[in-house]
Amino acid sequence: KYVRSNCSSDVSSSVAFSHSPVLSVRRHLYDMDFPLYKQPVEVGYFSLDSSRRFFNDARMLRHYVEADRCPNFNLRDGYTDRFIKRDDGIKERLDHLLRWILENRSKLQRTPVDGDASGSSCRLSADFVTWRGHLTKLLTTPYETQEGWLLAVTLFNGTYYISEVETEAARRNRENRTERHAEMMYWGYKFEQYMCADEPSGLPDPSGVVNTNEAFCTVVQTKLTDHSLLFSGEVDCRDDSSRFKAAPSYYVELKTSAEICTPKQRSNLHRYKLLKWWAQSFLPGVPRIIAGFRDNDGLVVSLETFETAKISQLIKHEQNCWKPNVCMNLCNAFLSFVKKVVTQDDYRVVYLFSWEPYKDVSYSVHKDSEYTFLHDWYVREMTK
């Protein structure tokens, strides 16, 4: 699976490699059986409040409220006067998740049964720690033709931490968003406000302020073949009337998308959007995605439910479409590649994995650089 090449990576590196291994992401290499993926188990959750303060509880979890099938929500409402936008120039990296791990580490320590012969007291019972969103990017990589990624990996105390680094292209896009695009990003959050109540059996309050600092994140544990994973993802709401009585099965993901008027538009939804929606919800085991279809004026004209588990059936009719097994096998191969490449167990060392469309995954190594993301406060506590 690992192709060797003579090219060292294009990212400046403090260690020279004349024969760095690279990983190919070509689809046909990953079109084998779906790999073992254990049902994700929620091991905890946390909340970020309107000032982005961390709480080790579910205070920001919202409750799904069933709406009219043709609701006519106006997503533009409040954009100019009732919108507080999180500063996306502030890079939080894994910080909130690390804080959650510290506050819950008693639940997470590897027991002798897990085969930890090293005797170190604070090894986590996970090979990988990351955000769900980073794994989503890996899953969609074989089909991505527009945006590359940079993933920083640090091996500390036997666990690989993966944290995204913004690419130059992504930063340019972020800094040069059109006014129209900036407004459309608000629409997704406004839709959540129309669909959710703060309290169980409460009602949505579309007259309130939309504040994108607020978040509820689930933390799940699972396994992809021989890789144990601990990751966190933001959850939009919980359905209190769900037939499932436990997390993450009672969570609901909310999405907005352009109204569908032609078969071609439906086909594009299946081929491009459903890939991202499926990957994002499948990873933490969120079974239901509720989409609001809006017109060009930001009016939600219809709602549709997608069951995550049925999406692969739905897309089978599309020619040359994405395949869930390819996504998961590539992710599995990347994690194996990381385990092979990342050998120095040192929180000051970052292996920077980089990928651009139509290229292989390559990497470079950096010690004490701007990429270091594990903090002294975390390392100190975890080695106590």
Structure token digits, residue 149: 């990624």
Strands annotated E in 115-250:
128-131, 149-156, 159-165, 196-197, 210-211, 215-224, 227-234, 237-238
Taking CB atoms, the residue at the shortest distance from ligand 0WD is 133
Chosen from ligand 0WD, Ca ion, none, partner binding at 285 (C-beta under 5 to 8 Å by type): none
User: Residue 250 CB, nearest distance to ligand 0WD (Å)?
Assistant: 17
Which residue from 144, 164, 214, 360 is in contact with ligand 0WD, where contact means CB under 6 A? 164
Residue 230 contacts residue 65 (beta carbons within 8 Å): no
Half-sphere exposure of 273 (CA within 13 A, CB side): 16
| 132 touches ligand 0WD by CB under 6 A | yes
Segment near ligand 0WD (CB under 6 A), from 33-41, 139-147, 210-218, 297-305? 210-218
Chosen from ligand 0WD, Ca ion, none, partner binding at 280 (C-beta under 5 to 8 Å by type): ligand 0WD
Measured distance CA(161)–CA(263) in Å, rounded: 43
| 285 touches ligand 0WD by CB under 6 A | no
Binding site for Ca ion (CB under 5 A): 236, 254
Chosen from Ca ion, ligand 0WD, none, partner binding at 234 (C-beta under 5 to 8 Å by type): ligand 0WD
Strands annotated E in 57-181:
63-64, 73-74, 83-84, 128-131, 149-156, 159-165
User: Residue 195 CB, nearest distance to Ca ion (Å)?
Assistant: 10
User: Residue 186 CB, nearest distance to ligand 0WD (Å)?
Assistant: 11
Which residue from 148, 233, 287, 298 is in contact with ligand 0WD, where contact means CB under 6 A? 233
Nearest to 156 by CA among 114, 221, 94, 113: 94
Kindly list the distances between the CA atom of residue 227 and the CA atoms of 15, 24, 127, in Å, as whole numbers in the listed order.
Answer: 27, 20, 6
Structure token digits, residue 275: 């890939």
Chosen from ligand 0WD, Ca ion, none, partner binding at 132 (C-beta under 5 to 8 Å by type): ligand 0WD
Chosen from Ca ion, ligand 0WD, none, partner binding at 212 (C-beta under 5 to 8 Å by type): ligand 0WD
Q: Is 251 helix (H, G, I), strand (E, B) or coil?
A: strand
